[in-house]
Structure 1
Amino acid sequence: MRQVAIGACLLGALLATASEAADVSSVPTVHALPLYGEPALPADFRHFPHANPDAPSGGDLIRAAQGSFDSTNPFIVRGTPASGLTQIYDTLLESNPGEPFTMYGLLAEGIRLDPERRWVEFDLRPEARFHDGEPVDAQDVVFSFETLTTKGQPFYRAYYSDVDSVTAIDSDTVHFDLGDSESRELPLILGQMPILPEHYWRDRDFEAVTRDSLLGSGPYRIAEVDPGRRIVYERVDDYWGSEVPVNVGRHNIGRLIYDYYRDQTVALEAFKAGNLDFRLENSASNWATAYDFPAREQGFVRQLQVHDGQPAGMQAYVMNLRKAKFQDRRVREAITLAFDFPWLNRNLFYDAYARTDSYFENSEMEATGLPSEDELALLKPFRDQLPESVFSEPLPMQQPQEMRPRLRKALELLREAGYEARDGVMIDPENGEPLHVEILLYSTQFERIAQPLLRRLARLGVQGNIRTVDVNQYLNRLRSFDFDMVVGSFPQSLSPGNEQREFWGSEYAERPQSRNLIGLQDPVIDALVDRLIAADSRQALDTAAQALDRVLRWGFYVVPQFHLAAHRIAVWDKFAWQEPFPEYTLDLSAWWVDPEREAVIEDRQRSR
């Protein structure tokens, strides 16, 4: 906690070097930071509403991870990190899964935010400890920020790019000076930063791949590392933060185990055999047909469909603009028109999905119809740089469902782009090369979904193939942008912000391992992202997102796929939870193992 006894002169001198902001002492200390409005929970709340403070602790949760891993450091560019590693680290603040975006104190027990949002301070809890017993102090926060933004993945530099400086005022108080970007979410996302132990890393190479059981301060520690096969986390019995309100009733399960499978079919069979406890099912076909087995029929396995209140985001075939063949918008639109979602949904998905149109699907941020007056105010300054269709036509995904008129239009677009059909193959007359696309995958499970797109493209004379590689090779090619098309995902929250720069920003187009998979370098999109980040009200945020969504959709940079506004969960019936589930985020940390039901499941397994 910040010491009130520090003299006014000393405090003023410290802050003069850190900020030109108003007197810190005049800013109230609060327990939570909402993006807009007021926090839903009062300062004296005891636990999140969906958490059970009387939940027992213990038991195991075993789940599948896909592919392989060779690193226990999830923050660096090198290596393939294991699943679940962030569970060993605490953050300054913790989000409430029952609110759109409000952060409550975890390592920080008090927060002071300048009314003009030029700086933010966090008071650390004096009882906070790393797993080796060393205190978590303000210098660890400074070290974490500087290390992640200089040695970590590009994401961190993008996420925290508007921080001017960070200063340890004393051992328990850290001060961040914020830039002039007007980023409303910046103080909140600083609270999401994992805090690393400076004393642990002092004599270690942070950027080197390691399989060590790294040191954290969170509710779990690494207990076992079997590279490429399994990683086990054990609950920290003397965890310093167990009584902090955001943790009460959470982190109950004794061991979290991730077993690695290269084939999802094998992982499903392992679940049926009882070797896995939990499965997030992403296949509509499996959900409809694969759970007809004795344990499910006898009530030992449950299937849950839990509502997801977050925007669906965009899952799509991503076209790589770094490849010359994708630089013509007409070619990209033609490829988009060849995607036959109704056929896929009917024949492969049991009509379980909805077509994704928007980058902010299932939210107020989704663009609809023609631009509103507020959207036009953002878009008109760029009229000469945008297609006229952005202003005058309905959104592009509102196309005929029948494939014949879609393919006819796609053929016209390819011809307009200069391609010629020779012996049934689309040829670029400038170089004599056929138009060919390769879809890069790391799982055979997606091949059956990609093949129909290639068949439709073949009808247009566009050649194509699928290349399925192992996870490590896939990640290496993704990092270096060595692909034509991949299945990419751009997840969105109800409060999008700084992460949009890395999704779409020009400065990340050529930065290895950035999330700008498309390779976008468009000053209009950069400007709209800045307006979104600077939005000072919910209405302004929605309008900026709608304008950005509209421009992205008219660019035809991706082939949108499909979504389901729910989580499909299959689970052996030894777990319990408190309902209703939180409105916005699935929180498995609030689940626990029911000892009696666990005993029943174990008896069944032994008797088989």
Structure 2
Amino acid sequence: MRIFAILLSALACGMPLASQAQTETSHALVLHGEPKYGLDFKHFDYVNPDAPKGGQVTMATIGTYDSLNPFILRGVPAAGLALTFDTLLTGSSDEAFAEYGLLAESIELPADRKWVAFTLRPEARFHDGKPVTAADVVWTFETLKAKGAPFYRAYYADVLKAEALGERQVKFTFGEAVNMELPLIIGQMPVLPKHYFEGKEFDRGALEPITGSGPYKVASVEAGRAITYERVADYWGKDLGVNKGRNNFGTLRFDYYRDAAVVIEALKAGAYDFRQENSAKDWATAYDFPALQQGMVVKEEIAHQLPTGMQGFVMNTRRPIFRDPRVRQALIYAFDFEWSNKALFYGAYKRTESYFSNSELASRGLPQGEELKILERYRGKIPDQVFTAEYKAPTTDGSGNNRENLRKALELLQAAGWSVKGGRLVNSEGQPLEFEILLDSPTFERIALPYAKGLERLGIRASVRTVDTAQYQNRVNDYDYDMIVGLWPQSLSPGNEQRDFWGSDKGKEPGSRNYAGIDDPVVDEMIDLLIQAPDRDSLIARTRALDRVLLWSHYVVPHWHLQAFRTVYWNKFSHPEITPKYALGFIDTWWVDPAKAEQVNAFRRRGN
């Protein structure tokens, strides 16, 4: 009966019935396997469907903002804007890669995945009451690809066209290359109102809220200082199974601060409500205060199963000094993680040794099976160690005496043509090896400064410079840096975003996440292979192969990771007993408990 109804809908929207016999129609898309939740599921397992709505929540963020358009390169967008825009599909936080209908009520997909069609829900509305139409979807796609941030051109590179087949049905046609995740990528696309942008320049940042269709809308703007969102009382999608128990806060405010140390003190003073702590030192030492001792503030570590990706000091290979991989490897040897973990992080972290760490996608042991066959194609074009050794970051005894690793670093530097003269490391032309470590927060100075001190022992001068958020973002967008702290988050189903991370073409466009400036045709081919993986086993093998090549090319000085979220919050919240495997879910699934909130407010009024 459900399929029959969808066929009638397709006829009404103008889609030829001949294509229906070759397609499957579903409420969900998954990359591999079957969706966990059936057609008429009531809610996700990790939510409380009866969670109360309402309450005021304040969060803190660092820096400033000057734009309410998060889709373009120009300007710094305000925090939280994604809450105002609905997407065609929405993801599940307890599956590897599954998406369920949000704006779209059904999805049609052929066996060869050469196109995907979405039928929009008739009740879907923008905040101004106008319906979300196929014309809006087509306009959004074409505009993001033409005028949006470079990320969208990479992400949608294999989408040939979008076309409206009726008022509520839209079809996306893909290129010849196999791209298994492309239907899901299109499902993640936010849909913008074409009518709102008539007479406006899309790629010009402004502080005027864009009309959305999501569960929240912008309530007030204090340029550069704060932004407040309010829950849309008549939100069109509030009763959908994908939304039950979600988006529970009444208002959500983001306050901007200039300094991380001030942010912590502001939390303790009750200026805002929730903080995710990323500093091991602050987690261990900064929260011993009366409100915590009296139970008014909660300090909770919540385990997760997320891939932790790669964070590290990224060397910009667009700079001549970083083009030799032996130099890059030497700089890895100069970083003493064990000392940092012991002296700075209270032993909290594990060293990252994969771009896909904390997941089955991370390379391990020596390559075998399909992974080895892939790598054999490129023998002689990729580092020999890919075939002979499992990647392991250099280690020390943690004493602070990194002499052995510095000796190995010097050997590599000398092999690359550098030598020590007058206490400085210079090349054959007498030019010194020196560079700048660019930061956007003082938080990382305590890691970067000891690292620079270790480099000094090799005769390398590394200066550490911290700049404001706007200047930092502009310099990163233009690749105007020597070394930065870079982060590449990963999902359980990597795909098209890898082009933006490592692709040669993207590394030449301003604003990509190819921070290292990788320009390698082998890496480009391996990305394509990963995107075209026909099943889960192939995806794992191809991802591990790419991981090995990236690791042994020494583009970053690997940092560390933690397999849990560290949270500190005023005790006004409750959250479901079942937490999502792959997300924290604070804004998504928590709620303000009225009784707890009253106790917290009374405590704050007393000034305790």
Counterpart amino acid of 2:472? Y
Partner residue in 2 for 1:541: 539
**1:414-493 → structure 2 map (5 Å cutoff):** 414-430=413-429, 432-493=430-491
1:498 equivalent to 2:502? Answer no
Partner residue in 2 for 1:218: 214
Partner residue in 2 for 1:91: 87
**1:513-592 → structure 2 map (5 Å cutoff):** 513-588=511-586, 589-592=588-591
Q: How far apart are the structure 1 equivalents of 2:209 and 2:517?
A: 36
Structure 1 residues 6 and 82, CA gap change in structure 2 (3 angstroms): closer
Partner residue in 2 for 1:596: 595
Partner residue in 1 for 2:71: 75
Aligned-pair identity in percent equals: 51
Q: How far apart are the structure 2 equivalents of 1:55 and 1:10?
A: 41
Q: How far apart are the structure 2 equivalents of 1:318 and 1:94?
A: 32
Q: How far apart are the structure 2 equivalents of 1:3 and 1:114?
A: 15
Partner residue in 2 for 1:19: none
RMSD: 1.5
SS state at 2:378 partner:
helix
1:147-187 CA-to-partner distances (Å, cap 9, x unmatched) read 11111001111111111111110011111111122111110
Q: How far apart are the structure 2 equivalents of 1:505 and 1:463?
A: 30
Counterpart amino acid of 2:202? F
CA contact (8 A) 2:13 2:166 kept: no
Partner residue in 2 for 1:4: 8
Q: How far apart are the structure 2 equivalents of 1:27 and 1:389?
A: 45
Structure 1 residues 250 and 421, CA gap change in structure 2 (3 angstroms): same
CA positional deviation for 1:10: 6.2
CA contact (8 A) 2:93 2:582 kept: yes
1:46 equivalent to 2:46? Answer no
Partner residue in 2 for 1:311: 307
Q: How far apart are the structure 1 equivalents of 2:574 and 2:559?
A: 34
Counterpart amino acid of 1:286? D
Match of 1:367 among 360, 363, 368: 363
Structure 1 residues 373 and 28, CA gap change in structure 2 (3 angstroms): closer
CA positional deviation for 1:27: 2.3
Partner residue in 2 for 1:18: none
Partner residue in 2 for 1:233: 229
Match of 2:247 among 230, 244, 251: 251
CA contact (8 A) 2:362 2:547 kept: yes
1:290 equivalent to 2:286? Answer yes
Q: How far apart are the structure 2 equivalents of 1:328 and 1:433?
A: 15
Counterpart amino acid of 2:541? T
CA positional deviation for 1:387: 2.1
Partner residue in 2 for 1:139: 135
Counterpart amino acid of 1:447? E
Partner residue in 1 for 2:161: 165
1:27-64 CA-to-partner distances (Å, cap 9, x unmatched) read 23211111111111111101111111211111111111
- Segments of structure 1 that go 5 or more residues without pairing to the other structure are 16-21
Counterpart amino acid of 1:216? G
1:367-423 CA-to-partner distances (Å, cap 9, x unmatched) read 112221322200111112112222123324265657222111100011111111111
Match of 1:341 among 317, 337, 344: 337
SS state at 2:379 partner:
helix
CA positional deviation for 1:117: 0.4
CA contact (8 A) 1:80 1:472 kept: yes
CA contact (8 A) 1:301 1:571 kept: yes
SS state at 2:380 partner:
helix
Structure 1 residues 2 and 157, CA gap change in structure 2 (3 angstroms): farther
Moved more, 448-457 or 124-133: 448-457
Counterpart amino acid of 2:63? G
Moved more, 369-378 or 88-97: 369-378
CA contact (8 A) 1:370 1:395 kept: no
**1:143-158 → structure 2 map (5 Å cutoff):** 143-158=139-154
CA contact (8 A) 1:2 1:170 kept: no
CA positional deviation for 1:585: 1.6
Structure 1 residues 155 and 607, CA gap change in structure 2 (3 angstroms): same
CA contact (8 A) 2:14 2:166 kept: no
CA contact (8 A) 1:396 1:553 kept: no
Q: How far apart are the structure 2 equivalents of 1:57 and 1:33?
A: 29
Q: How far apart are the structure 2 equivalents of 1:521 and 1:426?
A: 27
Counterpart amino acid of 2:595? E
SS state at 1:53 partner:
coil
Match of 2:256 among 256, 260, 279: 260
Partner residue in 1 for 2:406: 407
Structure 1 residues 356 and 198, CA gap change in structure 2 (3 angstroms): same
CA contact (8 A) 1:97 1:586 kept: no
Counterpart amino acid of 2:173? D
CA positional deviation for 1:446: 0.8
Q: How far apart are the structure 1 equivalents of 2:11 and 2:456?
A: 76
Q: How far apart are the structure 1 equivalents of 2:13 and 2:600?
A: 65
CA contact (8 A) 1:319 1:558 kept: yes
SS state at 2:256 partner:
strand
CA positional deviation for 1:536: 1.0
1:102 equivalent to 2:98? Answer yes
CA contact (8 A) 1:2 1:172 kept: no
Counterpart amino acid of 1:583? K
CA contact (8 A) 2:136 2:193 kept: yes
Q: How far apart are the structure 1 equivalents of 2:318 and 2:397?
A: 31
Q: How far apart are the structure 1 equivalents of 2:337 and 2:386?
A: 24
Counterpart amino acid of 1:472? A
Partner residue in 2 for 1:174: 170
SS state at 1:309 partner:
coil
Q: How far apart are the structure 1 equivalents of 2:305 and 2:182?
A: 23
Q: How far apart are the structure 1 equivalents of 2:112 and 2:24?
A: 13
